[in-house]
């Protein structure tokens, strides 16, 4: 069964304030393999070339994931089996595609009867509504783990995906997420976002600093220690570098720093240096020199968008108008970029075609539209728009149709950022009081808080899928 899915010291400074200040001023593959010591072996699987179109507003796929079967003796194996099944369930449930069936409804336990198709009574699963079933077996020693995982189409009574992983005990989570990625790839043709991270701004230290967490909010860690104002994190195409804005000398500088080693570069042109955005690349870059990013600079007195090298050398000017141009975001092919400008009087989203030089206004509904984010599939933009005195997240395509409002809650909703596969959007919201990071599907469903930390959390930026070096 394959599925085609349808469908800013102690006060807050955000992009809108940066914009107004300007007006007034005129996340290697080799490391992944070495870390996991992972061996992938395909188990018998039969692909079924059927496409079922589902609407996430109406239907989620009923999924059963029993506890995995211990294939070696001892309490440690039992514990790993249960935790691995739970982690896989949480990981797949995070996508918003699945409805996880209550274990109390199960009529059989594969950990008792067996994990292969020959030992499973598929009628026991279809009768409780399970369309997909995952079984697994875990074998572990003091240092290593081996797991065997299978995905079944219960109505056809057959295995459609099987994988075997072997690695160190501390690599268990990576193995589970690898299988989750395989499941999503089989069902949708996309690799998902299970090897991605989210950078965001938090005031937990009393200053605005950038933090990084795993895609599901686990293991948040502080990345910058500027002890000042730090804003606008932006991931390089390979997920190894972060560009951001900081205020070390009472004015904004740009910084580019390595994700792990923290080495990097300072870009401090006269005036403002804000809102960096990396240019997408069709081939994986081999060095920082290969990459480019756009940013707003004001050394000429006007806020314009420029193209820079990865180390901050100005290549050329990209916009030219009397107004302030900020917040670039690139189309996946790197041939166009969207940005925010007040050239028409109020902040609106515009698109520039680099080949023709043509600039077109994209947003017309609403008087204040900012923070555009171009979807990885290239077919739409998410942005923050003000309606009725409150910010909400909107999505707009390029077919002339009106934008679709995704958030409707009280409080402000800002800074949308797409997951690397385009299936989800991270954003910040004050719906519960203090600003927190939330996620939702690309259709606006399954909105939930990602994590809670001291202070406020804003400006999420989703990394590419990557292998950390």
**CATH code for the domain in which residue 182 is found:** 3.40.50.10070
Q: Return the CATH number at 253.
A: 2.120.10.30
Boundary of a domain, candidates 161, 188, 215: 188
What pairing do the DSSP bridges indicate for beta strands 273-278 and 314-317?
A: unpaired
Would 5 be classed as within a structural domain? no
**Rounded distance between C-alpha atoms, residue 72 and residue 137, angstroms:** 9
Asked if pLDDT for residue 30 goes beyond 70, the answer is no
In a domain, 25, yes or no: no
The pLDDT value recorded for residue 33 is 30
The 10s digit of each residue's pLDDT in 287-297 is 898 899 999 99
Same domain, 216 and 92: no
Q: Give the Cα separation of 35 and 162 in Å (integer).
A: 22
Q: What is the mean pLDDT of residues 4-27?
A: 36
Tens digits of per-residue pLDDT, 350-393? Answer: 999 999 999 999 999 999 999 999 999 999 999 999 988 889 99
Which has the higher per-residue pLDDT, 469 or 465?
465
Return all residues near 20 (Cβ < 8 A) that are at least 6 apart: none
* Mean pLDDT of all residues in 305-317: 95
- Sheet of 314-317, strands arranged across: 273-278, 292-297, 304-309, 314-317
The answer to the question of residue 60 being in a domain is yes
Q: 174 and 200 share a domain?
A: no
Residue 394 buriedness (CB in 10 A; 0-12 / 13-18 / 19+):
buried
How far apart CA 409 and CA 8 sit, in angstroms, is 23
Q: Is residue 27 part of a domain?
A: no
Could you tell me if residue 454 is inside a domain? yes
Q: pLDDT for 400-456, tens place per residue?
A: 899 999 999 778 999 999 999 999 999 999 999 999 999 999 999 999 999 999 999
In a domain, 52, yes or no: yes
Instruction: Report if residue 15 sits inside a domain.
Output: no
Same domain, 285 and 373: yes
Task: Label residue 36 by pLDDT band (50, 70, 90).
Answer: very low
- On the question of pLDDT at 319 being above 80, the answer is yes
Q: Are residues 172 and 225 in the same domain?
A: no
**Per-residue model confidence as pLDDT tens digits over 45-86:** 433 344 344 455 558 999 999 999 988 887 788 888 999 999
Answer yes or no: is pLDDT of 226 > 50: yes
Domain boundary (188, 217, 242) is at: 188
pLDDT of residue 393: 98
State yes or no: pLDDT of 6 exceeds 50.
no
135 and 237 belong to one structural domain:
no
Q: Flag whether 416 is in a domain.
A: yes
Distance CA 399, CA 379 (A): 9
Beta carbons of 194 and 32 less than 8 angstroms apart: no
In angstroms, the CA 38 to CA 442 distance is 32
Query: Do residues 162 and 37 share a domain?
Result: yes
Residue 24 pLDDT > 70: no
My answer on whether 336 and 450 are in the same domain is yes
The least confident of 26-35, 59-68, 352-361, 460-469 is 26-35
The confidence score (pLDDT) of residue 57 equals 55
Q: How many CA atoms lie within 13 A of 236 on its CB side?
A: 27
Q: Quick one: 216 and 178 in the same domain?
A: no
Domain match, 180 and 61 both = yes
Tell me, yes or no, whether 174 and 197 share the same domain: no
Strand arrangement, sheet containing 348-353: 325-330, 336-341, 348-353, 359-361
Same domain, 263 and 165: no
Res 184: pLDDT: 95
Give the pLDDT band (50/70/90) at residue 467: low
How is residue 243 written in tokens? 């560009």
Q: Which of 188, 205, 233 is the endpoint of a domain?
A: 188
Q: Indicate the pLDDT class of residue 282, thresholds 50, 70 and 90.
A: confident
Q: Give the pLDDT of residue 383.
A: 98
Domain with 331, as residue range(s), is: 193-462
Q: Looking at residue 56, what is its pLDDT?
A: 53
- Say if residue 324 is in the same domain as residue 240: yes
Distance (Å) of CA 101 to CA 66, 119, 125, 174, 177: 10, 21, 10, 24, 20
Q: Average pLDDT of 313-318?
A: 96
The answer, yes or no, to whether residue 21 has pLDDT greater than 70, is no
pLDDT, mean over the chain? 86
pLDDT at position 284: 79
Q: How would you class 11 by CB atoms within 10 Å of its CB: exposed for 0-12, middle for 13-18, buried for 19 or more?
A: exposed
pLDDT on residue 77? 84
Number of domains present in the structure of the chain? 2
Entry pTM: 0.86
């Amino acid at each position: 069964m394959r599925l085609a899915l349808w469908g800013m010291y102690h006060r807050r400074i955000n992009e809108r304030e940066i914009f107004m200040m300007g007006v007034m001023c005129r996340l290697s593959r080799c490391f992944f393999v070495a870390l996991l010591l992972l061996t992938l072996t395909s188990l018998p699987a039969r692909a079924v070339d059927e496409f079922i179109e589902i609407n996430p507003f109406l239907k989620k796929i009923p999924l059963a994931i029993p506890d995995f079967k211990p294939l070696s003796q001892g309490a440690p194996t039992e514990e790993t089996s249960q935790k691995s099944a739970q982690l896989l369930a949480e990981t797949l449930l995070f996508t918003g595609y699945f409805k996880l069936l209550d274990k109390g409804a199960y009529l059989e336990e594969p950990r008792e009867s067996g994990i292969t198709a020959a030992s499973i009574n598929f009628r026991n699963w279809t009768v409780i509504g399970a369309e997909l079933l995952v079984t697994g077996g875990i074998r572990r020693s003091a240092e290593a783990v081996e797991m065997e995982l299978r995905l079944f189409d219960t109505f056809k009574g057959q295995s459609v995906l099987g994988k075997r992983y072997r690695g160190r005990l501390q690599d268990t989570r990576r193995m589970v997420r690898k299988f989750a990625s395989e499941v999503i790839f089989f069902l949708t043709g996309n690799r998902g976002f299970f090897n991605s991270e989210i950078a965001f701004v938090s005031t937990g230290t009393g200053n605005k600093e950038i933090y990084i967490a795993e895609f599901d909010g686990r293991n948040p860690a502080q990345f910058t220690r500027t002890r000042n104002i730090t804003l606008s994190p932006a991931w390089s195409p390979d997920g190894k570098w972060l560009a951001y804005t900081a205020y070390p000398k009472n004015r904004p500088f740009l910084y580019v720093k390595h994700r792990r080693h923290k080495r990097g570069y300072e870009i401090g042109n006269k005036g403002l240096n804000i809102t960096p955005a990396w240019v997408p690349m069709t081939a994986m870059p081999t060095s920082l020199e290969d990459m480019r990013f756009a940013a707003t600079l004001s050394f000429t007195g006007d806020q314009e968008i420029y193209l820079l090298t990865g180390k901050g050398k100005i290549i050329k000017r990209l916009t030219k108008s009397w107004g302030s141009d900020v917040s670039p975001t690139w189309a996946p092919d790197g041939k166009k970029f969207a940005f925010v400008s007040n050239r028409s009087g109020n902040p609106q989203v515009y698109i520039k075609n680099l080949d023709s030089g043509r600039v077109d206004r994209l947003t017309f509904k609403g008087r204040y539209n900012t923070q555009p984010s171009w979807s990885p599939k290239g077919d739409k933009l998410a942005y923050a728009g003000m309606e009725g005195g409150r910010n909400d997240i909107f999505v707009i395509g390029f077919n002339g149709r009106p934008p679709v409002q995704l958030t409707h809650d009280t409080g402000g909703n800002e800074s949308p950022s797409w997951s690397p596969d385009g299936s989800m959007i991270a954003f910040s919201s004050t719906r519960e009081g203090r600003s927190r990071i939330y996620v939702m599907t690309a259709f606006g469903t399954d909105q939930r808080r990602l994590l809670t930390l001291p202070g406020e959390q804003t400006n999420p930026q989703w990394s590419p899928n990557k292998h950390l070096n």
